[in-house]
A = this chain, B = another copy of it.
Amino acid sequence: MDNPLADIEQYLEGHREAFEDDLCQLLSIPSVSADSRHRPDVRRAAEWMRDEFARMGLEPRLIETDGQPLVYAETPAVPGAPTVLVYGHYDVQPPDPLDQWISPPFQPTRRNGNIYARGATDDKGQMLTHVKSAQAWLAVRGRLPVQLKFLIEGEEEVGSKALQKYLETPAADHLACNAVVVSDTSQFGPNQPAITYGLRGIAYFELHVKGPKQDLHSGTFGGGVTNPANVLAKLLAALTDDHGRVQVPGFYDDVRPLSAQERESLAKLPFDEQQFQRQLGVNGLHGESGYSTLERRWTRPTCDVHGVWGGYQGEGGKTILPARAAAKFSCRLVPDQDPVKIAAAIRQFLEDRKPPGVEIELIYMSGAPGIVVPLDSPSIQAAARAIEHGFGRSPCLIREGGSIPIVMQFSKRLKADALLLGWGLDDDNTHSPNEKFHLADFHRGIKASAWLWHELAAG
């Protein structure tokens, strides 16, 4: 049988190096959205994306917001064929701790068949696969078989507030589409591509405990005065039991139970706990009783502390009763938990446990519900065929523990199927030092994407 995309595939083959060079350009921009010092860099990344679309012959525009701009570009409408929104983000996580990077986070470095840089997989590398596949179609055929609408934002790592706000306005009507494609997840394993049909939500908090007006001598005052650092430990500890089950009343009320069928399907996935432990460098796994490790990571809510600070952190032994202590923590959520309801329950839970002599402040920083997308849509079937072309292997169907809050809002606002097509790997070190993207997966992702437009048009 003739390969209907032989010309496109030949273009992709001939442009591997050029594609990688373009990726390196984008990865060199330290577009850290969580750090206000990097604000100009984040904007530079937006401008690079705009210029990239212009180089493809499109007419991109920056949609200005209160925060970072949205980059928008579209290809011509194709009567009778679906319209596809491609969503991605050009911002990245902070690179700390810097001293653990082998090569600097914003000097993209090719090593062991990977490209190392902050954002390599999350999400610059993955997002760019769809841009490059469109570039190929446009260069070879002058048109795409479906209409593509690219929407690339710059605040995904800090809660997508500007985009969420934009989606609530009538101006966002131009995003109307039949499917939303997002590549910001992982394959199930090396050379085992996957379609992700579920994501966890999140409710993210910062908790401050404030005691005396300044640090006190722990000898003179200890025992007499409430210690904010002790209180912080007690409050964080109270949130979960010793197996990580959340203790906040009502927390599990709206959790949709796993079906026997889904548990069976998850149990069949080839997951090696020993290898998983070795990969992470831990001597044991631990979590909510009654659930497998995959179930705990993908389908169960959590409460994890992300950072704690307060008092003396220097060398030696300073004997103070610190005036304040604080933590960042979040709950991963699953359908049908409501982040706003969860935040209210946590606030009440903490207030109820506040001893005399301290004040607490709970900041609800961002939230999004979890989602599970239907498996029986034609677009999921088209994606499965496209991935088989790109990766030479049919994808397995998985859920993922991370959150892409905006996906939930797209599906609500645009009434479109969400296609979560992850080209990354679990050991890509997203949000960690030495983030990487396997270059073979970058090119396989581009190929799968090129086929996706073809398969979606075929219906």
Contacts and interface: CB of A to CB of B under 8 A. Distances in A.
Given A213-B280, A306-B319, A356-B285, A219 B202 contact: yes
A401 B305 contact: no
Given A159-B317, A330-B218, A308 B305 contact: no
A314 B316 CA distance: 24
A237 B234 contact: yes
Interface in A23-48: 33-36
Contact of A297 (B224, B226, B234): B224
Given A214-B100, A219-B400, A242-B355, A34 B317 contact: yes
A247 to B, nearest CB: 12
A306 B321 CA distance: 6
Given A219-B200, A431-B319, A224 B308 contact: no
A322 B310 contact: no
Interface string A197-214: 000101010100001111
Nearest to A278: B213
Contact of A286 (B313, B355, B431): B355
A286 B321 contact: no
Interface of A: 33-36, 93-94, 96-97, 100, 157-159, 186, 200, 202, 204, 206, 211-227, 229-230, 232-234, 236-238, 240, 242, 244, 276, 280-288, 293-294, 296-297, 300-322, 325, 327-328, 330, 332, 355-359, 365-366, 400-403, 426, 429-434
A432 B356 contact: no
B318 A222 contact: no
Number of copies: 2
Contacts of A432: 214-217, 320
A34 B318 contact: yes
Given A218-B304, A229-B306, A322-B307, A212 B280 contact: yes
Contacts of A215: 97, 431-433
A89 B380 CA distance: 74
A350 B212 CA distance: 29
Contacts of A97: 215
Contacts of A232: 233, 308
Contact of A401 (B221, B296, B309, B310): B221
A224 B232 CA distance: 24
Given A94-B318, A433-B215, A285 B328 contact: no
Nearest to A365: B317
Nearest to A276: B224
Given A229-B307, A233-B232, A285 B431 contact: no
Nearest to A229: B305
A318 B93 contact: yes
Contact of A96 (B302, B312, B358): B312
Contacts of A430: 217, 220
A432 B321 CA distance: 10
Nearest to A237: B237
Nearest to A158: B316
12 contacts: A159-B317, A219-B402, A220-B297, A220-B402, A221-B297, A221-B401, A222-B302, A223-B287, A223-B296, A224-B293, A224-B401, A307-B318
Contacts of A311: 305-308, 328
A167 to B, nearest CB: 20
